[in-house]
Amino acid sequence: MTLHTRLTDMFGIAHPVVLAPMDEVADWRLASAVADAGGLGLLGAGYGDKDWVDEQFRHLPTQRVGVGFITWSMAEQPGLLDAAIAHRPRAIFLSFGDPAPHAPAIHAAGIPLICQVHDIAQARKAIAAGADVIAAQGGEAGGHGTAARSTFTLVPEIADLLQSTAPEVLLLAAGGVADGRGLAAALALGADGALVGTRFWAATEAAVPHTAQIQGLRADGDATVRQSAFDIVRGKSWPTPYTGRVLRNEFTTRWHGQEPALRTDIAAQADLFDAAVLAQDYTVANAIAGEAIGQITEIRSAADIMEDMVSTATAILSPAGAAAVTVG
């Protein structure tokens, strides 16, 4: 079974599911697995390491998958975007910054531009910059974002905005989509597909230590928290108002809300954190996951995840005859 939408038409894929470009978690193995399963795979280039990007694309045919960057960090590295474009990715995904300065080069290369937004003002800027696809991310999502809006209200509002001002621009729902119920909801809310992170974080192909995934399986959505302590200890200067959603642990219990004290003891805490990462000690190291972690009970292959997600969404949408999709 397939769910046919404008997204599947644009990218020539079987299913309207896009892998979130999770920083380094979404390497060539996971991106390829999602592509093989019929979705759109995106490499998680994160803060931007040219050597890492080059290495990932060495494993991939031209236009096999796309790539995503943290925009403000990419902008600090002249030549990084051009280097990514040279690999002819299937799409370029920009998050957490102004896409406008980078859009002309992406458009000139004929590469679809996906812009992640967190509110209506950002959506309008993405439209003005010429985004081909907008990913509307609610605060439920894992990793960085804002707590300003939820997926369930943000997606239909941006769908209405696009319908009235830029109907050619496609829409992804992001944040909280981890199974077929979420995919069906995304399409019913007016999206052309879903951006999925946390569920693929718990895939067998994900570049995530097994110990971190096991911790995730034991958690529910209440076990996550939006915080900035991990950015401070890692030396990442995230702009306001972005925070990162992670699994709660002893480190967040000690330092969330105590950020000034953390900064005064940063050298010692950074050493402890680095040691915990090496030891895969997730009482201190950070495990990034969204609220949807509570829906995940096992680590499965990307293909199995996709099959379950699509078959469940198809079963939900078929009786309703949803106008947004053609089930076949």
- Rounded Cα distance between 52 and 45, Å, is 8
- Mean pLDDT for 282-295 is 95
Confidence of residue 325 (pLDDT cuts 50, 70, 90): low
Residue 2 has pLDDT above 80, yes or no: no
Fold type of domain 6-207+299-320: TIM Barrel (3.20.20)
Q: Number of C-alpha atoms within 13 angstroms, CB side, residue 82?
A: 3
Confidence of residue 145 (pLDDT cuts 50, 70, 90): very high
Confidence of residue 281 (pLDDT cuts 50, 70, 90): very high
- Mean pLDDT for 275-296 is 96
Are residues 147 and 248 in contact, defined by beta-carbon separation less than 8 angstroms? Answer: no
Share of the chain above pLDDT 90, in %: 92
Are residues 127 and 134 in contact, defined by beta-carbon separation less than 8 angstroms? Answer: yes
Going through 74-125 in order, the beta strands assigned E by DSSP cover 92-95, 113-117
Going through 73-169 in order, the beta strands assigned E by DSSP cover 92-95, 113-117, 133-137, 143-145
Residue 321 has pLDDT above 60, yes or no: no
If phi > 0 it is left, if psi is from -120 to 50 it is alpha, else beta; for residue 2 that is beta
Question: Which two structure tokens, joined as six digits, stand for 115?
Answer: 């812009």
Confidence of residue 61 (pLDDT cuts 50, 70, 90): confident
Are residues 169 and 127 in contact, defined by beta-carbon separation less than 8 angstroms? Answer: yes
Per the model's pLDDT, the better-predicted residue between 328 and 200 turns out to be: 200
Give residue limits of the domains in the chain: 6-207+299-320, 210-288
